[in-house]
Each structure stands twice: as structure tokens, then as C-alpha cells.
Chains A and B, each alone.
Chain A
């Protein structure tokens, strides 16, 4: 049977299914596309919001980079806009004030982490792909799934509204350390906390749903070790979200109490703000906030990375046309990683003086957790060996993920040792490190996933040519942005400086005599080149955005339900999959990556293909 006639047949079947569906219960536009309980629609809603917020977060940092490179000068293009929208005390004459820099900085982190990457990498791909890959008709709790999305959406609305209230959004960094976050008089932090509580609620509902779905809705024959690695990654991620987020919710409630009911959970005795005693009881602990925050925020790093690893593993197996090397090691490593992720958090707190014994403990666990991460990366590298690799756009992004994430991971080791962290803490080195993990790491994996699964979602491929333009431009500018930051950080440049460290470095004409502690001209000059690369990075996303929307209607049509000739179950569905996903009974007979099986007719043997 030729691929074309097969596609035609499934298309027909889809049509039938669709008609049948309509007969039973006509669904309005609102129920189908807005308040949908279908995991695929919810996945795309999350995906759309996530990508939009990633772009918005990039715009925020692009604006901040102007302030760092050309402090005190009006921001071109957006300066007048800022002044008009936020008021002339916030952006006088289009110049970014230090307060506005703080607002954008705090919100850049918050938006990228909680409203960009988690929804895009975990919720979007997880919702769309996981039920398909395990052969389920939907998530276990479709209405809870919808509630999860709307809680997320509502949280995002609160966060966005907070930009426009008097005083602007939260200013205390995405980490919101108390006492600073508790005593800032503007209301932005309160909005932030309420928004976070909504986002956390959304994550909890999502996590419960993912785990229940994976445990209970696997198709017959889909045993634990026949699950695609992506499903494993989502499974572990869901556990991290389920168990690590509630402590931040607790912390959020406590900080909200501090701000609204004037308790002092995080405020120490004798706190003086602006030369005045604060009318609180005292007796609180600033360290408590940091413990509760990082108890979430370190597992959160794995929440950001694991889905990316899952996506990359799928694409590498598919495009090397051979099974993943060491599937069981991968699964074992990711499970261990999930456990260890809960006992490394205080390596963010070496500088707090919490004591050498505690530091030594967390230093040890931190270095142990690098072992499973390295096993995963190594397995993926070895998987490339001897493959006949297809270099399409998703594969390019997946391949770039490996060294980029590798750089991010290895540069983390000096931060894991407390003796070297003392020098590097809160410097640009840290920024470079974690951005290598999530920006050319996870975000590249997100792009890879979009290019890879787009044909299943729409029945059309995205443009390969513009995909390559997007890839090479992103790869180059990504490195031009973050590589120099290692140098800046090691030279001692602190993060969160609205002037790019100029005042702090003392390297200005008024202080010509001071040479100790000053940052050299080269280091300061990098601010300009990094900023230029950041703006180029912003422009480099335009081909992607245009490609994404253009291809929905005009992309090259796929002629089969399985255009990449993949083995996993999502390609057994019609394209795009109807409500209920599969039109035939699905049963699993084999491991997830049976590519190039000797003796097989084709170089891929789908999981659903019965043994002869």
C-alpha cells in the first residue's frame, strides 16, 4: 500500500470520526478551542502562551541590555512607549530608571521560568504528546486539565497586570528574597505572590494529571520499560512539580502574610528600613525564605531541563535511525536525578553562613547529582555513533542541545563546590552558567520539539530553509551572548546592576586613581557586544515566528501520518489526531526505538506493529 493511499484512507476515517462526533454532541467554538478539555487543544494553548511569554521575556531583557550598555541614554524605539505606558517617573524621557530595570529583571526571570519554559516544555509537549505516546484517549482528568490551564492563564494575567499598577511589578528579583521583598512599599510583590500561587496551583493540577495518566492509561502492552524516554522525562518532571512546588506555595503564603497582615516570618528582630524601626514583632528568619524557595527552585531547574532531554532523545533516536544507546541507563539516571534533585537545594546558599557541615553535605549531594546528568548526556552522545544521521531542523536543534547543555552543566561544577562558589556567587558567571542550561539547552529543545511535532499537529511541515536560518542565527548569537559572560563573571562583575557594573567597578573618570577592584575596559566593553548579540538574537526569532504561522496554512503538506518514519505511538494517529486520538484499537508489541532492526522490511518498526 502506498503512503498516499494510506494517508487518504486515514483522512477519510478522520472525516467519519468527525461526523460521528458531531452527531453525538455538537460543540461550540468556545468548547472546542477555548474551554476545551481535549489534551491536544490544551497542549496547544499552553504552547502558544509559553512561546509568547518566552518572546516577551526576551523583549524585556533586550530592553534591559540597553540600560547596561548605554546607561542613562533613552532606549531607542521602546523608550517613548515605556514612558507613555508606565509614566514619566519610571522611564523619564525614555531612559530606563534603575527601578524599572529591577522590575524588568525580576519579571524576566519569573516570566521565563514559570510562564515560558514550564508551560512550553512541560505542559505543552507533555499535554500534546504524552497521551499519544502511551496510547491513551486523553488525560485521566480532562476537566482538571482545563482547570490547570485556566489557573495558569489567570496567574499570567495577574503578573501582566502588575506591570501597570502604581510602582510597577515585583522588583526583588525572581528569587524574591526577604526582607527586601517583604518591605518594598509598592504592591508589585503582592501581585507577584498571588500570581505565583495561581501558577503553583496550575502546576499541581497538571502534575497530578500527568502522573495519573501515565500510571493508569497506558495502552495494553505499554509496559514501563517500553515507554518512550520522553514519557519517562515527563513522569519524573511531574513528580518534581508535585512535591517541590508546595513548599514554595507555603513560602508564598507566609510572605503574603508578611506583606498584607504585617507578620514577621522572614523579618528578623530589630529590622531597620530607611533609618526607621519597622513596626513588626521580629523573630523571623530570612534564611527560612531561602530554604523554602530553593527547595522548589532547585528541583525547578530539573523541571526546566528534563522535558528538554526527553524531546532531544526522541529526535535523536528518530534521526540517527538507530535505538537510543543505553535506554535503561537513561531511565535509571533520570529516576535517580529526580530523587537527588530534592536534596541539593542549599548549594544556592553557601554565602549565607549556614555552617560548614551543612555546606559540606550539600556540596557532596550536588556533585553526586552531576553523575546521572552526565550519564544521560553521554548516552545521547553515544547514540549518535554509527548512525546515518538526517540533518533536518529538529535534529540540528537537538544536536546543538548536547554541547550547549554540556557547557552549562560543566560550568556548574565550580558553583557546586563552596570554596569556588564564594568567588563566583551572584556574578555574571552564574548567569552564563544557568542560561547555557536553559537557553541554548531547554529552549533549543523546545524549538526542536516544535519543528518535530508540528506536522502531527497541523498536517504540514515548517519550512526547512527558514528553520535552518533560525537555527544557525540562534546558535551563533546565543554563544555570543553567554560565552563572554563567563569572562565578565570571573573578572568579578556582579549581577543585577542596572548600569552594567559601571558604578560598582569604580572604573570611571571621577575615580581615576582607583585601580583595585576596577573592571577593565575589555570586560566593561563586552557589555556592548553582548547587548548587540542579544538584539540580534531577538531579530533571529522573527523567521521562526513567521515560519510558525505561515506554515499552518502554507507549509508543505505531509503525505503520511508518519512523516519522520518514527516508531512511537503518536504517529499511529490520524493527522491531526481527532478527539479521542486513535481510530483503531492500540496495542503495543515492542520497545520504543526499534530502528534499523536487522531483517525488517523498513528501517523502522512501529511499537504498534505486531510480531510476525
Chain B
């Protein structure tokens, strides 16, 4: 059984099966990315003024990656052209160049672009007054410096006016690009309501030290005394039976993870356990992808993280301290940060998955198992590279649309 037109094109359609197949596949891909681009448009058009981030991306890095992909698109054509001329060595040279470009693209994205965002935070506070005070602390010196000799901004009260102006500048660049009536109105509203976010890196934080106490043991929980004592022995050297009957403290001032682990394991063994925060320890670190709950989680009436020290954007040497009680929401620049970041990671992630898949296919074609086809049927192998090239151009094209809408517009 031989399937016709796997290599030679069918005369009346002018296509061999593989080429027809890849075009159809690309048609469905157009619909897939088309739906995501449409979602982007709908979400952006529907976004409240002042919630859609613009110009947060590093355009230079994005543009560099765009050039890398365009180059790789060119290399795959050169590779195919070499094959058409029967030059396997020349093909391999350009093919490795294509693979190298694809790898560079992903490395830039996955080791630099994304991770740097996971360490950058926006923090929203509960109270407008506290927010203004924090802005004042964080930006006062910079603000007075930058406003030096500029008497255009003469309004506002002496204490806060300059800072407000300075923050408005940052706000306008980020959400509106340039100043307009709409940006002024939106900023005024956000400033007065306190819905602005403080953004920057978390340089340090105060993490809870926790005491774990046994408060009782349920004999009817279905766990034998021996098993319960065995469970206890993992957490304490003290007399297990004594602890079980009268309660008492396990080793004190432990960290959150150990405390939670003990609470869970002992709960399974029928104990009722109380956690209480006995102190805080200052940790100097730049944590990744913290969520609101990570900071504000209530442990016996006290938060897991008492305060964070935020090095504010545009003046990283100005560190402000935020109490957990003041924090309404906190998010790194991760997908859940906002619909902008959501769609950014979704589309670029799906695109990166296509690039990754492309690398796997290219590697397969370069391995002996893939090259066997070249030695069996040169034309079919050449066709295979041609169809892959079509896919690769498509992946490139998607990025060419992605780059302006996510980085520039």
C-alpha cells in the first residue's frame, strides 16, 4: 500500500500532502492565536483607565529577541536551499544556526525576562492616608531633587504636592504613556482613593517564629495511644505520654513550614494543636512570587510576615517599611498580577511552547534517526524541512505581532 503524493505534488492541486497538511494546521493556529489576540483587544478595551500597564517591558531586550527570531527564519530558508542543492553539510551549518537562535530566544525569555518580573512587586494598601505617607517617605528626596528649579508645578500643599506630582509622572508613563485629561482624572481619583500601588523589590522582611503547643488529645479519633506517641516523638524529646495527657510546648520558636508540618501531622494523630507567634526574625532576601496570603496569613491573631521592606522603583536606595496590617493586596509581576500580565504570560508562554516544540523537531531532524530519511529519499527529507520552515515562519510571525502589542503599544 502506497499513499500517493507524499513526495511529488498532485498535479491539479499543486501540493504534496505534507504541505497541504501544514497549511491547514497553520490555519487552525491562526485561529488559536487570533482568539488570544482578540481576547487581548477585548480585555484592553474593557480595562478601567489606569489598570492596563504600558511600557513596562524592556523594549531593547524584546527587539533583540525579535531580531534573533527573524534571523532564525532566514537561516531555516538557507538550510532548505542548501538541501535543494543536495548539500547536506551546508544544510547542517544553517540548521544549527537556526537551533542556536531558538535556544538564545528561549534563554533570554526564561532566564532573564520572566524571572526578573517574578521578583518585582506591586503592593496595594488599605488606607489612602498611609499610602500618601509611604509615598512621601519613599519619594520625597528624589521628588524635591527632580522638581528642582521647576516652577510649573506650583500648586498643592508644601508637604505632599511635589511627591504627588512625581508619582503622577510615574503613573502616567505606566498607564497612559503621556499626560492627558483622562490621565489626570484617573490619577486624581486613584490618589484620593488610595488605589495606587507601591512598586519595587522586597529587600527584606520580618518572618514569624512560631511556638507549637499541644492543647489536647482526642482518644476517639481512631488513633491508638502508641501511634499518637510515636507521632509526637518526631517533634519532641519530652515524655510523650505526659505531653499527650497534660499538653505542653514542643520545641519553641520554629519556622512556619516546620510549625505547619507539625500541626498537620499531629492533627492526623488526634491532637489539637495551637500555633502562636512569639517573635519575628528579619530576613534579608529578594523573595519570588509571593502572594497576598503569604504575607497576611493569620497565625493565632498575628500575621505570618509582620512587615516588608520595599525598595521603591526609581529610587531603590529609598526603602520604606510596610506593616502587614496595611497591606490589602500584594503581587509580583506574575500572571495573577493583572489582566495585562495574565495575557502577556499566556500568549508569550504559548508562543514559547511553539518555539520549544520547534527546537525538538529540529533536533530530531538532525539526529541519525531523522537523517535516515535523507539517505532513503532526499526529496522527501527536503520537503520535510520545507514544511517545518513554514511552521517556523509562522512562529516568527506570531512574535512579530506579539512584540508591538505587548512591548510597545
- Tell whether A279 is near chain B: CB-to-CB under 8 Å: yes
- Tell whether A254 is near chain B: CB-to-CB under 8 Å: yes
In angstroms, Cα B392 to Cα A122, docked, is 31
- Tell whether B51 is near chain A: CB-to-CB under 8 Å: yes
Consensus secondary structure, chain B interface: helix
- Tell whether A249 is near chain B: CB-to-CB under 8 Å: yes
Residue among B13, B51, B293, B346 facing the most chain A CB atoms (10 A cut-off): B346
- Tell whether B321 is near chain A: CB-to-CB under 8 Å: no
In angstroms, Cα B35 to Cα A211, docked, is 22
- Which B1-36 residues have C-beta < 8 A from chain A? 1-5, 10, 13, 15-17, 20-21, 24-25, 27-29, 31-36
Q: Which residues of A contact B314 (CB under 8 A)?
A: none
A250/B27 in contact, CB under 8 A = no
In angstroms, Cα B387 to Cα A141, docked, is 14
Which of A138, A217, A247, A281 is B35 in contact with, Cβ under 8 Å? A247
- Tell whether B331 is near chain A: CB-to-CB under 8 Å: yes
In angstroms, Cα B27 to Cα A244, docked, is 11
Which of A281, A284, A288 is B331 in contact with, Cβ under 8 Å? A281
B10/A254 in contact, CB under 8 A = no
- Tell whether A304 is near chain B: CB-to-CB under 8 Å: no
Q: Which residues of B contact A245 (CB under 8 A)?
A: 28, 31
Q: Which residues of A contact B293 (CB under 8 A)?
A: 279
* CB closest chain-B residue, reference A267: B339
In angstroms, Cα B2 to Cα A280, docked, is 56
- Tell whether A242 is near chain B: CB-to-CB under 8 Å: yes
B48/A249 in contact, CB under 8 A = no
Residue among A251, A263, A292 facing the most chain B CB atoms (10 A cut-off): A263
Which of A140, A215, A250 is B36 in contact with, Cβ under 8 Å? A250
In angstroms, Cα B51 to Cα A441, docked, is 49
Consensus secondary structure, chain A interface: helix
- Which B299-353 residues have C-beta < 8 A from chain A? 329, 331, 334-339, 342-343, 345-346, 350
B48/A269 in contact, CB under 8 A = yes
- Which A201-252 residues have C-beta < 8 A from chain B? 204, 207-209, 211-212, 215-217, 242-247, 249-251
- Tell whether B215 is near chain A: CB-to-CB under 8 Å: no
Which of B33, B48, B51, B336 is A262 in contact with, Cβ under 8 Å? B336
In angstroms, Cα B42 to Cα A336, docked, is 29
- Tell whether A76 is near chain B: CB-to-CB under 8 Å: no
B35/A251 in contact, CB under 8 A = yes
Q: Which residues of A contact B339 (CB under 8 A)?
A: 263-265, 281, 283-284
In angstroms, Cα B337 to Cα A204, docked, is 33
A257/B28 in contact, CB under 8 A = no
Shortest beta-carbon distance from A286 to chain B in Å: 11
A253/B346 in contact, CB under 8 A = yes
In angstroms, Cα B105 to Cα A206, docked, is 32
B329/A279 in contact, CB under 8 A = yes
In angstroms, Cα B21 to Cα A216, docked, is 10
Tally of contact residues, B, Cβ under 8 A: 46
Shortest beta-carbon distance from A6 to chain B in Å: 23
Which of A144, A243, A257, A279 is B31 in contact with, Cβ under 8 Å? A243
> CB-defined interface of B186-204 with A at 8 Å, one 1/0 digit per residue?
0000000000000000000
A264 and B342 contact, Cβ closer than 8 Å, known pairs A140-B17, A211-B24, A215-B13: yes
* CB closest chain-A residue, reference B16: A216
* CB closest chain-A residue, reference B39: A288
In angstroms, Cα B29 to Cα A243, docked, is 9
Shortest beta-carbon distance from B7 to chain A in Å: 12
- Tell whether B292 is near chain A: CB-to-CB under 8 Å: yes
In angstroms, Cα B25 to Cα A212, docked, is 10
B47/A257 in contact, CB under 8 A = no
In angstroms, Cα B29 to Cα A579, docked, is 33
Partner-A contacts on B (CB < 8 A): 1-5, 10, 13, 15-17, 20-21, 24-25, 27-29, 31-36, 39, 42-43, 46-48, 51, 291-293, 329, 331, 334-339, 342-343, 345-346, 350
16 A–B contact pairs at CB < 8 A? A137-B3, A144-B21, A208-B21, A215-B20, A217-B5, A244-B31, A246-B28, A247-B34, A249-B32, A249-B35, A250-B36, A253-B36, A263-B335, A283-B46, A283-B339, A285-B46
3 smallest beta-carbon distances between A and B, as pairs: A580-B1, A263-B342, A250-B35
Known pairs A250-B35, A264-B336. 15 more at Cβ < 8 A?
A138-B3, A140-B5, A208-B28, A212-B21, A212-B24, A216-B4, A243-B28, A257-B345, A261-B336, A263-B335, A263-B342, A265-B39, A284-B43, A285-B42, A285-B43
